[in-house]
Amino acid sequence: MDILWVAVGVAVLLLFFLSMGTWIFASMLAVSIGSLWLLGDFNPDRIGLIFSRILYRASNSWELSAIPLFILMGELIFRSNLSERLFKGLVPITSRFPGGILHTNVLGCTLFAAVSGSSAATTATIGKITTQELKARGYNRNLSIGSLAGAGSLGLLIPPSIVMIVYGVQAEVSISQLFMAGVIPGLLIAALYSGFIMFKAWMNPALAPKQEIPGQTILQSLQLLFPILLLIFIVIGSIYSGIATPSEAAAVGVAATLVLLILERQISIPLLIQAFRGTLITTIMVCSLLVTAMLLSTAMGYLHLPRELAGWIAAQNLSPMMLLMALALFYIVLGLFLDGISITVMSLPITLPIVLLAGFDPIWFGIFLIIMIELGQITPPVGFNLFVLQSLTGESISRVAWASLPFFLLMCFAALLVSIWPEIVLWLPQVMTR
């Protein structure tokens, strides 16, 4: 199988550049060029023509504006005392359970996912607050990083979600039904994560040092949480009332945060300067990766890689369950190297007809696919949540990936559950449209 050698070639090239310590965005750029040149036999002029246009196309996308704005919102929250209050508010709620305030990762991400359409923004925003607080309190590093990586990817599954919109448009299914279909699986995964944290902490209490229970009542706790809950309410409310589109909600979030900070007299010039500088650095990190990931996808497209691999799977005539396993494997492999939107766009023309023919519901498959994509967010070498966490914590990518492994497995387990009981996905949209 010729295409297999091409796939191996691309992987080897990428691993080579990454291990040389080349920036990840530059590695993807170099591999895109190198793979068309060496593996696709394209002449260098044509490669220059293709990628110059794709670089512009990939970055000239207004939906990406949600990234700097959600990051800015996170920065403002982080640099004011809102984050401290969020944390203090969640502490009395979470510290009652084994694992203590590790659950703020899961809870925080689940809440923020309902505001944000991307997993990178969710991870960055919540992570900015929790990684340092958890470290300062002596919590197990692996558990804090891993749970954040896993829970951060819920940004895609809990609506609003950019990938769901891409899938809905491609697969011609209702985006509003997709949004509803993602809610229960999202909560299920959050529950699995929290359950796992409790189990680990119960087995080994040293992982989550017992905190002094502050003498707070639930009411005081809610008082502390009020500003954040208000912000979440404003952002979600702006989307579900039709005032803003999911892509515009980030701007509403920033405006609301600014108003809140002004009312509380927390705003200052140094705070704004720091917030904007931090926003720029995180935004460019994420955007440069997104843009070059699209170059990589273009290169794969020209090499016909995803298409031929999927076609090969189709030719095997598998039983529905075996087909699903094969597809899961296929998506996990693609997820090692590609970002979610590219995976969706490149593979669906081939996989969707196979899946429909095997009798699967397109809404259900959309959710299955998104869980697969979320897995790709936390697998090396190209995993966006890993990148975000690497830059937040300063830990190496291998350390971050290793810490994420249990949560990767838990998400695989969730994929298995929704495959055995498709009602987990389909029940809510069916009830809501009736």
Partner 1 sequence: MILLRLAERLSMLLNRLGALIAIVLIIYMLGHILLEILMRSLGKSTFIMDEYIGYAVAAMTFLGLPYVLEKGGLIRVSLILDRIPKKYLWPLELFSSLITASCFIWISIFWFRNVQRSYSRGVISETLAETPIWIPEGAVLLGMWLISLSLVVRALKILCLRSHYLSESNKP
Partner 2 sequence: LFSGALHAQTVSMDFSNEYNANSIHAQGDSYFIERVRELTDGSVNITLHTGGALGFNSGDHFYAVADGAVEIADTLSGTMSGIDPIFLLSSLPFIVDGVDDARRLYEIAKPHYEAVFEDNDQILLYASPWPASGVWSKTAINSQADLRNLRIRTFDRNGTETFRNVGAAPVSLSWGDVVPQLATGGITAVLTSAEAGANGSFWEHQDHFAAIQYAIPLNMVHMNKRAFDRLDAAQQSAVLEAARLTDLHNWKAVETRTEENYQTLNQHNVTINDPVSSELFDALSQAASSVVENWLNSTGDRGQAIFAEFRGE
Give every CB contact of residue 202 below 8 A, 6+ residues apart in sequence. Answer: 98, 99
Q: Under the criterion CB under 8 A, does residue 268 sit at the interface with partner 1?
A: no
Q: How far is the CB of 178 from Na ion (least distance, A)?
A: 12
Cis peptide before 306 (omega within 30 of 0): no
Q: Do residues 238 and 250 make contact, with C-beta atoms less than 8 angstroms apart? A: no
**Identity of residue 92:** P
Nearest of 314, 289, 310 to residue 301 by alpha carbon: 310
DSSP secondary structure letters along 329-380: HHHHHHHHHS-HHHHHHHHHHHHHHHHHHTT--HHHHHHHHHHHHHHHHTSS
Q: Under the criterion CB under 8 A, does residue 432 sit at the interface with partner 2?
A: no
Q: Under the criterion CB under 8 A, does residue 252 sit at the interface with partner 2?
A: no
Q: Do residues 109 and 152 make contact, with C-beta atoms less than 8 angstroms apart? A: yes
Q: Under the criterion CB under 8 A, does residue 155 sit at the interface with partner 2?
A: no
Nearest of 188, 199, 190 to residue 150 by alpha carbon: 190
Q: Under the criterion CB under 5 A, does residue 155 sit at the interface with Na ion?
A: yes
From the list 12, 49, 321, 420, which residue makes contact with partner 2 (rule: CB under 8 A)?
Answer: 49
**Cα R_g (the chain), whole angstroms:** 22
Q: Do residues 157 and 367 make contact, with C-beta atoms less than 8 angstroms apart? A: yes
Binding segment for partner 1 (CB under 8 A), chosen from 1-9, 13-21, 310-318, 347-355, is 13-21
**368 contact choice in Na ion, partner 1, partner 2, none (CB below 5 to 8 Å, kind-dependent):** none
Q: Under the criterion CB under 8 A, does residue 349 sit at the interface with partner 2?
A: yes
Query: Residue 110, Cβ neighbours under 10 Å: how many?
Result: 23
**158 contact choice in partner 2, partner 1, Na ion, none (CB below 5 to 8 Å, kind-dependent):** Na ion
d(CA 214, CA 204): 23
Binding segment for partner 2 (CB under 8 A), chosen from 54-62, 130-138, 198-206, 280-288, is 54-62
Q: How far is the CB of 396 from partner 1 (least distance, A)?
A: 5
Q: 54: number of CA atoms within 13 Å, CB side?
A: 22
> In which residue are the tokens 């492994």 written?
405
Q: Under the criterion CB under 8 A, does residue 45 sit at the interface with partner 1?
A: yes
Q: Under the criterion CB under 5 A, does residue 162 sit at the interface with Na ion?
A: no
Binding segment for Na ion (CB under 5 A), chosen from 1-9, 136-144, 377-385, 408-416, is 377-385
Q: Under the criterion CB under 8 A, does residue 305 sit at the interface with partner 2?
A: no
From the list 234, 295, 369, 370, which residue makes contact with partner 2 (rule: CB under 8 A)?
Answer: 295
Q: Under the criterion CB under 8 A, does residue 115 sit at the interface with partner 2?
A: no
Q: How far is the CB of 388 from partner 2 (least distance, A)?
A: 23
| Angle (deg, nearest 10), helices 119-136 and 384-393 | 30
Q: How far is the CB of 247 from partner 2 (least distance, A)?
A: 7
Q: Under the criterion CB under 8 A, does residue 241 sit at the interface with partner 2?
A: yes
- Both tokens assigned to 333: 């492999």
Q: Under the criterion CB under 8 A, does residue 205 sit at the interface with partner 2?
A: no
Q: Do residues 200 and 99 make contact, with C-beta atoms less than 8 angstroms apart? A: yes
From the list 307, 326, 361, 412, which residue makes contact with partner 2 (rule: CB under 8 A)?
Answer: 307
**298 contact choice in Na ion, partner 1, partner 2, none (CB below 5 to 8 Å, kind-dependent):** partner 2
Nearest of 197, 229, 188, 198 to residue 82 by alpha carbon: 229
From the list 298, 377, 390, 393, which residue makes contact with partner 2 (rule: CB under 8 A)?
Answer: 298
Q: Do residues 187 and 373 make contact, with C-beta atoms less than 8 angstroms apart? A: no
Q: How far is the CB of 46 from partner 2 (least distance, A)?
A: 6
Kindly tell me which of 148 and 290 has the beta carbon lying closer to partner 2: 290
d(CA 134, CA 407): 18
Q: Tell me which residues touch partner 1 (CB under 8 A).
A: 17-26, 29-30, 33, 44-45, 48-49, 51-53, 55-56, 59-62, 64-65, 68-69, 72, 238, 243-244, 248, 250-252, 254-255, 276-277, 279-285, 287-288, 291, 381, 387, 390-391, 396-398
Q: Tell me which residues touch partner 2 (CB under 8 A).
A: 46, 49-50, 53-54, 57-58, 62-63, 160, 165-166, 168-177, 239-243, 245-247, 294-295, 297-298, 301-302, 304, 307, 345-346, 348-349, 352-353, 433
